[in-house]
């Protein structure tokens, strides 16, 4: 009776509805797989509750890229913690990259401010794999280099570490205060952003010097990243 019960326990159903016997090794594999699924569900529940009660602070690694002189460093400067008074910090061209931290809501951002100079752009891909988000800053007044922006953006989107990922992309059409600035819709048309599929993306106008429009864009990125983290 004991042996029969043991065999029956290891049976399943085949395509015809009849019993399928599993070897002890196969049965052990199924058992381990089921335990792994249960453990992941339990861990997900624990993390969800911990986040809800504020015991866990979510973190996000973000790379900030774009052509040189687009305003990447200036944009990050206005997100740095201050004493409450807005400070206009003079920016110098980034050599290689710099790292900045800021917090928005319950999300702690670690941002890699990448140089936009041509000889440093090959460094961008080094940080794609571990990034949860990309902030792409566009100089909306530089009409002549929009084709170059499109080429670099297409290269990024087709990179193996980006193409098959669900990384969120926030594009800032910077320098919106200047009279010859392209609108977000005009940038979207020239960059053919409507062709982006299977990922969250958003484009927003901003003035990195005054901070206008920056927080709204970062709030969108925070929600997009948090949504993926909660679903993982």
Catalytic site residues?
117
Query: How is the chain classified by DSSP, letter by letter?
Result: -HHHHHHHHTEEE-TTS-EEE--HHHHHHHHHHHHHHHHHHHHHHHHHHHHHTTSS-EEEEEEEE-STTSSHHHHHHTTS--SSS---PPP---SSEEEEEEEETTEEEEEEEE--SGGGGGGGGGGTTT-SEEEEEEETT-GGGHHHHHHHHHHHHTSHHHHTS--EEEEEEE-TTSTTPPPHHHHHHHHTGGG--SS-EEEEE-BTTTTBTHHHHHHHHHHHHHHHHHH-
Q: Alpha-carbon torsion 146, 66, 139, 185, what sign?
A: positive
């Amino acid at each position: 009776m004991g042996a029969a019960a043991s065999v029956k326990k290891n049976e399943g159903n085949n395509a015809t509805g009849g019993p399928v016997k599993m070897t002890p090794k196969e049965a052990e594999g199924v058992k381990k797989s089921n335990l792994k699924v249960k453990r992941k569900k339990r861990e997900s529940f624990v993390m969800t509750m911990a986040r809800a009660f504020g015991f866990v602070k979510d973190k996000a690694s973000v790379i900030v890229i774009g052509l040189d002189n687009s305003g990447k460093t200036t944009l990050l400067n206005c997100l740095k913690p201050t004493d409450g008074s807005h400070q206009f910090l003079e920016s110098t061209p980034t050599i290689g990259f710099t790292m900045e931290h800021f917090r928005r809501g319950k999300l702690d951002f670690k941002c890699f401010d990448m140089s936009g100079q041509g000889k440093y752009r090959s460094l961008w891909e080094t940080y794609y794999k571990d990034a949860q988000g990309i902030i792409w800053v566009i100089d909306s007044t530089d009409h002549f280099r929009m084709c170059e922006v499109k080429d670099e953006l297409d290269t990024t989107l087709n990179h193996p570490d980006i193409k098959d990922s669900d990384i969120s992309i926030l594009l800032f059409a910077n320098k919106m205060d200047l009279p010859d600035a392209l609108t977000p819709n005009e940038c979207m048309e020239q960059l053919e952003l409507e062709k982006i599929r299977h990922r969250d993306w958003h484009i927003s106008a901003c003035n990195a010097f005054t901070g206008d429009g920056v927080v709204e864009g970062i709030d969108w990125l925070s929600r997009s990243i948090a949504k993926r983290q909660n679903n993982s």
